[in-house]
Structure 1
Amino acid sequence: MLPADLPDALRDALAAPLVDHHCHGVRRDELSRAQFELQITESDSPAPPGTTHFDTPLGAAIRRWCAPVLDLEPHAAPAVYLARRAELGAGEVNRRLLEAAGVVAFLVDTGLERPELLTAAEMGRHGGAAADEIVRIEQVEQDVAEVADVAVDYMDSLAEELAARAARAVGLKTVIGYRCGLDFDPSRPSRGSVIAAANRRLSDPKERLDDPILLRHLLWTAVDVAHRRGLPLQFHTGFGDSDLDLDRADPARMTGFIRALQPLGVPVILLHCYPFHRQAAYLAGIYPHVYVDVGLAMTHTAAGSPRVMDELLELAPFHKQMFSSDCYGVAETCHLGALYYRRALAMALKSRIDAGEWSAADAARVVHMIGSANARRVYRL
């Protein structure tokens, strides 16, 4: 899995258990081929007729690296792979692949909770790891909006429910980048504007929240909760599902908000970031409360992941980087997220050692920071 000629200290550090600081539940049910293929792409559409989502970097990686975990030869054909998956059953597949990731703690975004997905506790049990919750603030808002009667109740209940959920969590997360882009007005909205927007919201509360005023109010309410409880706040940035406008997901667009938060000291964690990981690295280098990962990119760029990791390491301070798999839907994404993180980091650091820029001891120390120590410090694990 790792290059053969790594220094022993670096190899040992890369083999150490990881803290997966951002992931989701994987499915407990059996999947058809069509269902499985939709779980290995960020698209919400099937591959065009006569083609397959296995013909992607991630699809090739599943056949190469996940097949042996299921007792198949590397590069097994998709039909053979899926037949073996069905033969073992979802429970055994999940156990094998989650354990193979070598994760000691899962921090699970529970905003996508559905009956078919493993809970945070189940992710931990299947993976032989600890598990904690990351609260998605937009899901809390949805729950509050569906029961609030008037705008003032909505505002009070939102603050109360966020505080209650945060008391059981190790962090908060927002997907405001999906809802209105990261180029939002960084200021707190006025109380009057929030009341007016809340009245409009409560007239049709089952709709997905996309009002910029209420999203900013939600975000600043979450900031207040995070500040009181000493919790970090995660932001989805960079590429993702098809309902995201990529040009508005550049984390550099939220620089004004990052500046506004600096006096409070609330840690801002920029998730995924690709293809804006260089901008994210800059922000992490400039602002003391900003952290970064390239989680989703490791899995989806697969064999190309060393280039992404190398570019992140160009500028981002090593004490500001973290590992995440962003696994979701199928446990293959957890195993591959960890595998390509380790491979990409190994190749990037080996090139520095070979050039005489780094010592093996320094490389091993950085691996320890990025793989687990930074997350333990920031999330207070």
Structure 2
Amino acid sequence: MEVDKYAALREAVEKIELVDGHAHNIVALDSPFPLLRCFSEADSDDALSFVPHCLSFKRSLRDIAELYGCEASLQGIETHRRSLGLQSISSKCFGAAKIAAILIDDGLELDKMHDLEWHRSCVPVVHRVLRIEVLAQKILNEETPDGSEWTLDIFTEIFVAKLKSLADRVVSLKSIAAYRSGLEINPNVDKKDAENGLIEVLSAGKPVHIQNKSFIDYVFICGLEVALCFDLPIQIHTGFGDKDLDLRFSNPLYLRALLEDSRFLKCRIILLHASYPFSREASYLASVYPQVYLDFGLAVPKLSVYGMKSSVKELLELSSIKKV
């Protein structure tokens, strides 16, 4: 009889509990966020109409229906979720996946999303990931400088103080610079350029939405300095996402100037989403920079089976297994 040389590995994989290192809040069943969007980064009705014909959707639908014991259709899954209730179905999913802890980036604001405390009824351990650009926007939208207009120094004082006050209540910082101005972050951004960027951001009116590259670079570096001070990792969105993203500038190779900066060699920098389709580039960076780590969430499970396997393999082509 042929011996299964992977039997021990297979058994370990089936038994081990997992940490979801980058999740977003679960939304209520009556949220207008459509279930179909869980299977794709598309957001318009026209683009979503093609999702049921994607390999990843067909596989996911089959797997979810098998877990639920219901009809393998979107309507069948929707009906089953509503009949069991959100808390029950969430606990079932987390349990089946053996997820023992989740780190939630609650900076992605969704209609009727549940807070972190709600998730603790489904998973034993829940921690927060703090999105730095959202915190910067919140300050500019909600704070009023004492008796004066905003300056870069006033913003910096408030922003850094807020970050430090929250540092013991989060497990990681997170940046979406890739969505706003790209990953070619200048670690030596000129303060005058950053101040002009702040003025440009404010002149667009409220609600404030940060897009200016110099100001985003400045916010990122302030965040990285606080992360270093409190020994917090920083997660960086890299690779694919929804269509607000210019994929060309989410290649992690653009981070070279930052990674070469001697001030931040002790920071732990986590490249999210397998940097897909730049997985090999991410693997290279993790192999030559000790501070770089890789996470393959989103690529798993949103790609096809072949895509998931190939992207994880590409991450492991050069990188240490301990860093993926």
Question: Please, what TM-score do these two structures have when normalized by structure 2?
Answer: 0.89
1:207 counterpart residue number: 208
Query: Alignment partner of 1:125: what SS?
Result: coil
How many equivalent residue pairs? 312
1:86 counterpart residue number: 82
Query: Alignment partner of 2:272: what SS?
Result: strand
Residues 98-177 of structure 1: matches in 2 within 5 Å?
98-114=94-110, 116-126=112-122, 128-146=123-141, 147-149=143-145, 150-151=150-151, 152-177=153-178
1:176-229, CA deviations, whole angstroms, 9 ceiling, x for partnerless residues? 000001123x23323333333323333324231011111011011101100110
2:37 counterpart residue number: 38
1:130-186, CA deviations, whole angstroms, 9 ceiling, x for partnerless residues? 0111100011101111124321322211111111222211110000000001123x2
Pair 253,139 (structure 1): closer, same or farther in 2 beyond 3 Å: same
CA drift of 1:13 comes to 2.2
2:70 is the alignment partner of 1:67:
no
Pair 176,239 (structure 1): closer, same or farther in 2 beyond 3 Å: same
Pair 96,30 (structure 1): closer, same or farther in 2 beyond 3 Å: farther
d(CA) in 1 for partners of 2:226, 2:264? 15
Query: Alignment partner of 1:238: what SS?
Result: coil
d(CA) in 1 for partners of 2:20, 2:47? 33
Query: Are the aligned partners of 1:38 and 1:44 in contact in 2 as well (CA < 8 Å)?
Result: yes
d(CA) in 2 for partners of 1:190, 1:48? 41
d(CA) in 2 for partners of 1:255, 1:137? 21
2:292 is the alignment partner of 1:294:
no
Residues 1-381 of structure 1: matches in 2 within 5 Å?
5=4, 7-15=6-14, 16-30=16-30, 35-47=34-46, 51-72=49-70, 76-114=72-110, 116-126=112-122, 128-146=123-141, 147-149=143-145, 150-151=150-151, 152-184=153-185, 186-203=186-203, 204-260=205-261, 263-272=264-273, 273-304=275-306, 305-321=308-324
**Could you tell me which amino acid in structure 2 is paired with residue 24 of structure 1?**
H
Query: Alignment partner of 1:173: what SS?
Result: strand
1:306-347, CA deviations, whole angstroms, 9 ceiling, x for partnerless residues? 2222222211111111xxxxxxxxxxxxxxxxxxxxxxxxxx
Query: Alignment partner of 2:298: what SS?
Result: helix
**Could you tell me which amino acid in structure 2 is paired with residue 42 of structure 1?**
E
Query: Alignment partner of 2:114: what SS?
Result: coil
Query: Are the aligned partners of 1:105 and 1:129 in contact in 2 as well (CA < 8 Å)?
Result: yes
Query: Alignment partner of 1:227: what SS?
Result: helix
d(CA) in 1 for partners of 2:55, 2:165? 41
Query: Alignment partner of 1:116: what SS?
Result: coil
**Could you tell me which amino acid in structure 1 is paired with residue 53 of structure 2?**
D
Pair 55,288 (structure 1): closer, same or farther in 2 beyond 3 Å: same
Q: Which runs of 4+ in 1 moved over 6 A?
A: none
Query: Are the aligned partners of 1:266 and 1:289 in contact in 2 as well (CA < 8 Å)?
Result: yes
d(CA) in 1 for partners of 2:121, 2:5? 32
Query: Are the aligned partners of 1:106 and 1:124 in contact in 2 as well (CA < 8 Å)?
Result: no
Of residues 95-104 and 138-147 in structure 1, the stretch that sits farther from structure 2 once superposed is 95-104
Identity %, equivalent residues: 28
Question: Please, what TM-score do these two structures have when normalized by structure 1?
Answer: 0.76
**Could you tell me which amino acid in structure 2 is paired with residue 283 of structure 1?**
L
CA drift of 1:46 comes to 1.8
Query: Alignment partner of 1:138: what SS?
Result: helix
d(CA) in 1 for partners of 2:156, 2:263? 25
Of residues 76-85 and 163-172 in structure 1, the stretch that sits farther from structure 2 once superposed is 76-85
CA drift of 1:79 comes to 2.8
1:371 counterpart residue number: none
CA drift of 1:26 comes to 1.5
Query: Alignment partner of 2:173: what SS?
Result: strand
1:259-314, CA deviations, whole angstroms, 9 ceiling, x for partnerless residues? 11565410111001111010000000000000012211121113222222222221
Query: Are the aligned partners of 1:148 and 1:202 in contact in 2 as well (CA < 8 Å)?
Result: no
CA drift of 1:115 comes to 5.5
1:30-87, CA deviations, whole angstroms, 9 ceiling, x for partnerless residues? 367x8221332101112469x45222233212221111221226xx133323322332
**Could you tell me which amino acid in structure 2 is paired with residue 311 of structure 1?**
E
Q: Which has the higher contact order (CA 8 A, sep 6+)?
A: 1
Alignment gaps of 5+ in structure 1: 322-381
